[in-house]
Amino acid sequence: MSPVVAIVAPGAMGAAVGKRLVDNGLKVLTSLQGRSPETVARAKAAGMTAANDSEIAAADFILSILPPGDALALAEHFVPVLRASNAKPVYVDCNAINPATVKRVAAAIAPTECPFVDAGIIGSPPKPGEAGPRFYASGPSAQRFATLRDYGLDVRVLGGAMSAASALKMSYAGITKGTQAIGAAMMLAAMRSGSADDLLAELQSSQKQLFPWLKRQLELMPPKAYRWVAEMQEIAGFVADDPAARDLYEGAAHFYERFAENFESGDKNDAAALEAFLGKSSS
């Protein structure tokens, strides 16, 4: 029998992962209660099936794919129905959370007797013809999650601590999204100071690998910035033993928070300035 997978929630990543599994022959459930028309349409386009909490609790796997600030609340939401379910699905937390938060999520799930897997997603949402993203997984039940390799997911099992996957995710995202925050902040500062043309010329001359990468990433960043606030806060918690590093990522969280608040409120001055800087490289 093919496994049934539930994915909560059908955002950009969740829906794309759901479509990858559906395309490989699986039934994929999701919760659409209270979701926006856009989310409902995205889930339907992916071939996902709307289900209530009890139906989700009867699946073989539950994949939690949410903004990191919602990870613990989702686990706690499902505790009563999972405790009552005879199915005991493998609960896979795929969110960008630090190891301390992983422990809290795992502790919330423990009374349900459902196996728990820590997972970290690295890469963009799945696209036809592409293998990614990578699902790094850790914990005693990670090999069970790895059976979804047979249905199109690139699952890579890590040894070590139960939260090894999230430690990897924090380290990687701290480099990639942390670098984007620094790059965007300096490009905006250059625009305000009138030195944008000179900065652009120097980046194009001396940073022939870094600048094209930053350009690709920052062109896509503005509508995503709100999701990265909690992620930067999780990374700040991950490096909390180093106060300077903690302050660095708390600063990145504040940067993304302000950028996102302005963008969402309709004040797109920062987004327009960043777009103008990046557009100079194409002219």
**Right CATH number for 4-161 from 1.10.760.10, 3.30.450.40, 3.30.420.40, 3.40.50.720?**
3.40.50.720
d(CA 213, CA 210): 5
- Give the Cβ contact number of residue 164 at 10 Å: 21
pLDDT in tens, 270-282: 999 999 999 988 7
**What pLDDT score does 283 carry?**
63
For residues 221 and 213, give the distance between their C-alpha atoms in angstroms, rounded to a whole number.
12
Domains in the chain: boundaries: 4-161, 166-280
What's the pLDDT tens digit per position in 108-140? 999 999 999 999 999 999 998 888 899 999 999
Query: Residue 173: its pLDDT value, please?
Result: 98
SS3 93: strand
Single-letter amino acid, residue 89? P
Q: What's the pTM value of the predicted model, to 2 decimals?
A: 0.94
Separation between Cα atoms, residue 60 and residue 151, nearest integer Å: 14
